[in-house]
Amino acid sequence: MSDDQPATPEATQADAHADPAVDIGETTDETTVTEEGSELERTIGLSGGLTIGIGTMIGAGIFVFPGLAAGNAGPAAAVSFGIGAVVALLVALPTAELATAMPKSGGGYYFISRGMGSLFGAVVGLSLWLGLVFATAFYLVGFGEYALAVLVEIGLPRPPDLGPLSIVAVLGVVCGVGLTALSVGGTENTTKLQNGIVSLLLGILAVFLTVGIVDALGFLGSESAPETFAPFGVGPILSTAALVFTSYLGFAQIATVAGEMKEPSRNLPLAMVGSVVVVGVLYVVTIFVSTSAFGSQELGQLGETAIVEVARSYLGLPGAIAILLAGLFATVSSANASILSASRALYAVSRDALVPKGVSRVNLRYGTPHLALALVGGPTVLLVGTGQTELLAEVASFLHLIMYGLICVTLIVLRRQSPEWYAPTFRTPGYPVVPVVGGAASIAMIAFMQPTSQVVGLFVMVGAAGWYFLYARDVRLKGGEMNE
Amino acid sequence: MSNATSVLVPVAVLQGEALSEALVDRLAGLDVTLLGYHEIPDQTATEQAHDQFNEQMQRKLDEYVDLFESHGGTVTPRTVFTHDAPETFKRIAIEQDIGAILVPNPAPAVDRILVPIRGPVNLDPILTMTAALDGDPEIVLFHAAASEAQRADGEELLSTAADQLAEAGVDPGRIDRQLTVSDTPLRAISDAAADTGLIVIGEKEPSVVDIIFGDAADRIAEAAASPVVVVRTDRSDDD
């Protein structure tokens, strides 16, 4: 199919319908019409999509990583975040194209299984589920840090650790159990709550960062001591980029709800690219402001909650309290969004019979997939118990980066084969350079991670492939072939 | 206006919401869009609920289609899985140029229909809808005047309405008029609705959904515990 051929919605419908393996219905701006003639309402608008993306990402990049990143790379940690943003953008564009061609639940898993077949699909689908489990655990450890910092701030004595479990892990576990129970119980207003939280966070950050920038540029007097920009050289900048890449996983979560986005051909690309740009800018500014307030070594020692001390230095006690509360909300909202995406990912693989169908059964009473949610919450809570912020973050990134690499490959494969049903309404600019560089950069990121993270990530992928050969080797998903 | 007598009948069949035969019998004369819907929380993908519940939904909906047809009506069935039921109603109402939306409540018998009339603004579509209802129920035209001074205006409004209904073919013997003076009109309507099987009321706000889920309809529908047909504004002037 040539580039200049206009892809009208009607053409998309007709083409999509031509392939039963890819099709779960016709896509309109406001609904998906299934083969049985039922309508699935699309209820998430552009702002809802941006909220999912920003809400998932912001918890990590601003409220957990600045101290750790500055400790590793010095003020050049801002470059690490910049690299992350560029890689994320290079992948977000191909993801957006695939999502407009297949606006269905399941995100990256769906595209890869339809473009590359069921083995790749199974590995990515199961890795996406576990990758999100690792990400959720990481956010919850961050939550534990903030909850502890709040206790300390209001003057309570630091509670003792419970045997091998640190108090941070205990607080994270409690929050994880609570969030899982809440999602099973079916609180229908989670979206509205999430919207409110994200707006509040952006408001707090706008004030804090503005004051920080003004001060850092020297308008408010107190001259900050100049520090070498990259005290540890280029290597740590790259390994830090790999570490903090967890801060950019949210745009793919937008793709997991592609089936519920209104006007998908317009809103999916805008929400994905927009959320990456917004958080990327915020991250870089945050690092700049943080390293202007403290030396990077000091920031590194302050750890996960370093940003609270930065706020205190600019805005005093009220600033510290605002950022503490913001940190609590941000980490909870990231964890919550990831639990929901992980449950969507499990649904997508169970729909395709890669795991037992029962996994994603919805109970009529609450209307929620209790087993899928438990399969997310359970392992998450176990991982939170380890309390290993950096390991959890890197494994989460590892598993996502594999998917990102494959998304770029899928795009190239589909463009070259150009099957009849493939009619995206958004086309990646700069093809083929963008997907080639995006895919290569994704895989390259993995090379800069700690060996432990690489081993754990590989272990998960091999496990997923093993599961495929044991359980689901006769499942055929690739578009163009017959299903089942 | 072909759609002046069209009504959207949403039923949450999977939640056990039901349409009584008495109500179906009245509605059979209208152009009915029967909307089987299932509202699910954000945790669940709409496709996911569809996979599992669609068959059950279609089966139950088919029973209602049969019920309407056995009473001589024709219905267009639609099935929607949604995270936001009001948004769905609004979309379909606009898409199909629907004249009224039914708020379903239990209706064991529909022998008496209350038609509260607030003013001349919305009168035509309300009366057209009322006249199109099947069977021979008693129709009570109701007006709550704000003060004694406005009683005469109210009487005139009700008599105009009664004449109009009679012109539309309703047996004048079935038409009853009620006028109350009250400074809390909503309360007065609720009281009058106490032993009615069905209420036909015009929407006050520009949006049907505001009425259905907003204050006014809530109070009326809950207090009355009977189904309410909310007639959308300005159908006759639309095109």
For an interface test with B, the pick among A27, A28, A41 (most B C-beta atoms closer than 10 Å) comes out as A41
Position A458 scores a pLDDT of 96
Interface contacts A/B by beta carbons within 8 Å: 99
DSSP character for A228? -
Sign of CA dihedral A89, A94, A98, A100: positive
Taking CB atoms and an 8 Å cutoff, what residues of chain A touch B52? 361-362
CATH placement of domain B112-231 = 3.40.50.620
Entry pTM: 0.87
Residue A5 scores a pLDDT above 60? no
B74 in contact with A, Cβ within 8 Å: no
Give the other-Cβ count within 10 Å of B207's Cβ: 16
B84 in contact with A, Cβ within 8 Å: yes
Taking CB atoms and an 8 Å cutoff, what residues of chain A touch B82? 40-41, 43
Residue A372 scores a pLDDT above 70? yes
What is the pLDDT averaged over residues B112-123? 86
**Higher per-residue confidence, A239 vs B1:** A239
Closest CA to A107 of A83, A81, A131, A139: A131
Distance, CA of A93 to chain centre: 15
B213 in contact with A, Cβ within 8 Å: no
User: Contact A367/B91, CB-based, under 8 Å?
Assistant: no
The CA–CA distances, whole Å, from A197 to A51, A205, A334, A337, A455 equal 9, 12, 11, 12, 36
Task: Please tell me the CATH superfamily of domain A44-471, with its number.
Answer: Amino acid/polyamine transporter I (1.20.1740.10)
- Asked if the domains B6-100 and B112-231 are classified in one and the same CATH topology, the answer is yes
Q: How far is A120 from chain B (nearest CA, A)?
A: 22
Helical spans, DSSP H, in A294-305? 296-302
> Which of B45, B78, B91 is nearest residue A105 as measured by Cβ atoms?
B45
List of residues 6+ apart from A216 with CB closer than 8 A: A224, A288, A289, A292, A293
For an interface test with A, the pick among B34, B38, B46, B94 (most A C-beta atoms closer than 10 Å) comes out as B46
Taking CB atoms and an 8 Å cutoff, what residues of chain B touch A187? 41
Encode pLDDT of B166-199 as tens digits. 999 899 999 999 999 988 777 788 888 877 889 8
Task: Delimit the domains of chain A by residue range.
Answer: 44-471
Assembly ipTM = 0.85
What is the pLDDT averaged over residues A108-120? 91
Task: Delimit the domains of chain B by residue range.
Answer: 6-100, 112-231
Q: Which residue of chain B is at minimal alpha-carbon distance from A350? A: B48
What is the pLDDT averaged over residues B112-124? 87
Encode pLDDT of A74-97 as tens digits. 899 999 999 999 999 999 999 999
Residue A8 scores a pLDDT above 80? no
- For domain B6-100, give its CATH number from 3.40.50.300, 3.40.640.10, 3.40.50.620, 3.30.365.10: 3.40.50.620
A478 pLDDT band (50/70/90 cuts)?
confident
User: Contact A41/B47, CB-based, under 8 Å?
Assistant: no
Token pair listed for A463: 């496990």
In chain A, the percentage of residues whose pLDDT exceeds 70 is: 91
Chain B residues 167-196 with CB within 8 Å of chain A: none
DSSP character for B179? E
φ, ψ for residue A66, nearest 5 deg: -50, -45
Q: Are strands B228-231 and B198-202 parallel, antiparallel or unpaired?
A: parallel
The CA–CA distances, whole Å, from A203 to A207, A210, A307, B25, B36 equal 7, 11, 16, 56, 41
A484 pLDDT band (50/70/90 cuts)?
very low
